Amino acid sequence: MWRAIALTLFPEMFPGPLGESLAGKALKEGTWALEAIDIRRFAKDRHGTVDDAPFGGGAGMVMKPDVLSDAIAAMSNDVPRLLMSPRGAPFSQARARELAKGPGVLLVCGRFEGVDERVIEAHALEEVSVGDFVLSGGEIAAMAVMDSCVRLLPGVMGAAQSGDEESFEDGLLEYPHYTRPASWTGPDGIERRVPEILVSGHHGRVAEWRRKQREEITRARRPDLWARRTAKRDEEK
């Protein structure tokens, strides 16, 4: 069973959205397990103190190294240990696939101004970011990481191939999707029809259209991904 452990000051936030839809169904069926551990359990005083002022001055507070270290040490050491951090490496679909193939993951949800650097070093925490923005804490980011992994577990998605052409799987964004009705008039009064190629019944041409759409969308919206893909192609040549 794949196991996710969240170290947090707000365990009541979990499972949150992870208790619904595909992830929630898989959780109920025992495909994966989730533990939300309250970091305050490891506080050293009766007040449950988990933070203190930063050395050198500055705004905000920092999570105490002794408290957080004890919380991490009390958990399983046979899984990757991730710290949700805006300064971390961008989390990717490739990393999600790696984690989903393993036994699980330990996710440290930071709060305040951050975590004492010594804890990151001592426990070799992998700092991970879910985007170039700052959240109030790591819980929402941790949920995003969990969801991206859980949906890749065997049997969670309806069809094994359903994730093969999703965004980022091969360095390209996903192609446009259409369903019935074939003709639809939006609130702007304009009639929009499904591209003829998709109702042609010609699977080869449909596949080619989708590939071109993925390339065009990636080139326009994510030039960084397109540049990376182009560079990789050049290297292979």
Q: What does the pLDDT look like over 166-225, one tens digit per residue?
A: 667 788 999 999 999 999 999 999 999 999 999 999 999 999 999 999 999 999 999 999
Average pLDDT over residues 16-35: 98
* Residue pointed to by tokens 């290297």: 235
Helix (H, G, I), strand (E, B) or coil at 75: coil
- Give residue limits of the domains in the chain: 2-150, 165-236
Note whether 8 and 14 are within 8 A (CB). Answer: yes
* Tens digit of each residue's pLDDT (9 = 90 or more) over 66-98: 999 999 999 977 999 999 999 999 999 999 999
Answer yes or no: CATH 3.40.1280.10 is held by domain 2-150: yes
What's the CATH class of domain 165-236?
Answer: mainly alpha
Are 96 and 152 in contact by the 8 Å Cβ rule? The answer is yes
Predicted structure pTM score: 0.90
Q: What confidence category does residue 165 fall into, taking pLDDT thresholds of 50, 70 and 90?
A: low
Same fold, 2-150 and 165-236: no
Cα separations in angstroms, 172 against 93, 109, 147, 205, 216: 11, 30, 21, 19, 9
Q: Give the burial class of 64: count Cβ atoms within 10 A of its Cβ; 0-12 exposed, 13-18 middle, 19 or more buried.
A: buried
Question: What pLDDT, on the 0 to 100 scale, is given for residue 23?
Answer: 98
Higher per-residue confidence, 70 vs 233: 70
Cβ atoms < 10 Å from Cβ of 212: 11
